[in-house]
Structure 1
């Protein structure tokens, strides 16, 4: 059963948040620390004070409630999603999937341009936001992809496309593998390409530089990723009990993974952090790093790739083409890991180009 959903956070939860922020116990910081030790104290205090005294959740809640929200239960798990239908009844449907530490909020600025030509289904990953915590093992990207296939079936979509970044990229390609007869294509704005010494490929200087960056990351696994993969429950105690801890954990990723020319606003960061805090999903969202295997899954449907200059890594096309049916490849000098929030116009245009050309190719055949 699919049920309408309205965002309505109890006032007691907002009052508790304000109280906890007021009573924050701050650590010290060494002189001239900068970013050498992590998120700078002065910047975090600035963000936390604005969250406590200037940020208005109710304003953002009212704006969110202008969207059509729904919930349904799939495979024993509550699933929240936004469903925006295009004014064109025969439009292709797209399922848009976020990642960590994002949420369905990532796509707010692409809803209007994309819904001109597509029906949009924007779910919250199980364990994230209004989908609520997961309660059992095994919610990896493959299981989530199967849930998305069931969600699209319930909504009556026989054929549809998928788009995502971060975990949303893996979920989208896994959806193409889970339902290849229904998924017309997958567009991603994050596609890790591991070095393959046996590939025998001659790579450009640019691609070699990208591979060096990937090798460095593989040899020096980011601390957040290692901790969430190894001990998400242990981390969850701290983040679920301290709003400033949750703020620092997420805001650092926004600071490090975005294009300095297109930073995500403090308002949008605090709305995203508030969503994690108010739904108590720090631990359950982190479990996705633990439960998802670190291997590349095949995807038999056509793939479109958008590469953004300030993302964590940039894809190497010759390596990607050995694994995927690449039909579309774009390179952008602007934008980072949160492309839908940083450069929504660029991402929306690229998504539209990929699926429009894909439909045209299908008609020609």
Structure 2
């Protein structure tokens, strides 16, 4: 990897110090590495993204200066993201991609920052025009951001314009997890899913919500499970699209690498086989869980960061497969990810320099992954076919004693809200209907 003397973060800091950015009171820089409030400050401050042009120039220069390795020695993706895929993505990223469109997309929604437990938390907050809308806090995962969920905002806050009914409306709150996007980066340990689960109720309280529901996928699923375990006042129920349902005996067999326990149904056996495959494909998680600070390359090289974020290798190959199929796709009528949407997310990581800080979440969490946690509040579950495993109803009913909704849909993968927002919004309406 090459090293450029002036980093994007340094450019941002220099621009601010020199007064190169004329920021309005409602605007902040795009790299919030410094905490701007004390732990006693509960104010909610307007936020607007305004990335300095110098940072974008630096990004393009770094992409163009990439020192490429030789081509992989296999014809498949078993060695990682293919060289041809990354070269074409880099060519488009440097020459044709426009971050300003993503910036405009995010700035179209009300964004805010508030300090919770000593850390600035960035979030999108959109209130519905319909009365009695149900407040909903949605948590993204890795390698994601709030960009995963913004397609849900319209269908959830204004259901009558998207095939729903007024009484199905939600007020939507989408925070950036600590160390991700425009939230602050923890400077000490302890910011895992459990602490986020304590922070989101405080956020909802500051927004004057006394009753609400929560949704999460990927790491967001861990957060909502922890919220379910902590059962804060006002939390009515949670919805997860990556449920933790694996029974203890099955989890033990998986961790030991042994055969499946006897007596599993056909559906349960299929889920077991899917989990065996998943556990063979999570080398990225093992590295981030043990040595996240070693990933200096993804803070220095945009192409290195892109490859790391793309090689997620979920059941349906997302998002690397999406890049390969979306290299020439500038729009999508069916909901699948486009080339620009994938680059929006990668560029957000680059501009905020959160590749390493986001990775530390894997180091912070010491619990199990898909094992049942003992959540006892009402839970709704949607199973997408491209998820890391398809949770059987039998396991789900055992894992969540107050299961209020369970449905298997025909389309969508690990990034379901991003890939299939229409289906996802319909699922959330149905999931929480009984709580209205």
TM-score, normalised to structure 2, is: 0.78
Given that residues 304 and 326 in structure 1 are in contact (C-alpha distance below 8 angstroms), is that contact kept between their aligned partners in structure 2? yes
Residues 170-224 of structure 1 show CA distances to partners (whole Å, capped at 9, x for unaligned) of 1112123334431111111111333433899954312211112213434x36111
SS in 2 for 1:276: helix
TM-score, normalised to structure 1, is: 0.93
Given that residues 244 and 399 in structure 2 are in contact (C-alpha distance below 8 angstroms), is that contact kept between their aligned partners in structure 1? no
Residues 335-358 of structure 1 show CA distances to partners (whole Å, capped at 9, x for unaligned) of 100001111111100101111123
Q: Aligned equivalents of 2:116 and 2:232: distance in 1?
A: 20
2:147 alignment partner in structure 1: 105
Q: Does 1:196 align with 2:248?
A: yes
Residues 238-264 of structure 1 show CA distances to partners (whole Å, capped at 9, x for unaligned) of 100010011111123277236978641
1:36 Cα deviation after fit: 1.9
Q: Aligned equivalents of 2:103 and 2:412: distance in 1?
A: 27
2:201 alignment partner in structure 1: 149
1:317 Cα deviation after fit: 2.4
Q: Does 1:246 align with 2:322?
A: no
When you count helix as a share of all residues, which structure comes out higher?
A: 1
Given that residues 181 and 354 in structure 2 are in contact (C-alpha distance below 8 angstroms), is that contact kept between their aligned partners in structure 1? yes
Structure with max Cα Rg: 2
Q: Aligned equivalents of 1:71 and 1:297: distance in 2?
A: 31
SS in 2 for 1:297: coil
Q: How does 1:58-97 map to 2 (within 5 A)?
A: 58-97=100-139
1:363 alignment partner in structure 2: none
SS in 2 for 1:186: strand
Q: Does 1:226 align with 2:286?
A: yes
Residues 42-68 of structure 1 show CA distances to partners (whole Å, capped at 9, x for unaligned) of 011111111101110112212211110
When residues 318 and 149 of structure 1 are mapped into structure 2, their CA distance, relative to the original with a 3 A threshold, is: same
When residues 31 and 306 of structure 1 are mapped into structure 2, their CA distance, relative to the original with a 3 A threshold, is: same
Which structure 1 residue ranges, 4+ long, deviate > 6 Å from structure 2?
A: 198-201
1:280 Cα deviation after fit: 0.6
Given that residues 180 and 300 in structure 1 are in contact (C-alpha distance below 8 angstroms), is that contact kept between their aligned partners in structure 2? no
Q: Aligned equivalents of 1:346 and 1:262: distance in 2?
A: 10
When residues 242 and 193 of structure 1 are mapped into structure 2, their CA distance, relative to the original with a 3 A threshold, is: same
Q: How does 1:213-362 map to 2 (within 5 A)?
A: 213-218=274-279, 220=280, 222-235=282-295, 237-253=296-312, 256-257=317-318, 263-295=336-368, 296-324=372-400, 325-359=402-436
Q: What is the Cα-based RMSD across aligned positions, in Å?
A: 2.0
2:96 to 31, 42, 54: 54
Using the TM superposition, name which of 303-312 and 208-217 deviates more: 208-217
Q: Aligned equivalents of 1:88 and 1:29: distance in 2?
A: 55
1:333 Cα deviation after fit: 2.1
Q: Aligned equivalents of 1:215 and 1:251: distance in 2?
A: 21
Using the TM superposition, name which of 245-254 and 150-159 deviates more: 245-254
Using the TM superposition, name which of 28-37 and 144-153 deviates more: 28-37
**Structure 2 gap ranges (5+):** 1-42, 159-168, 252-260, 323-333
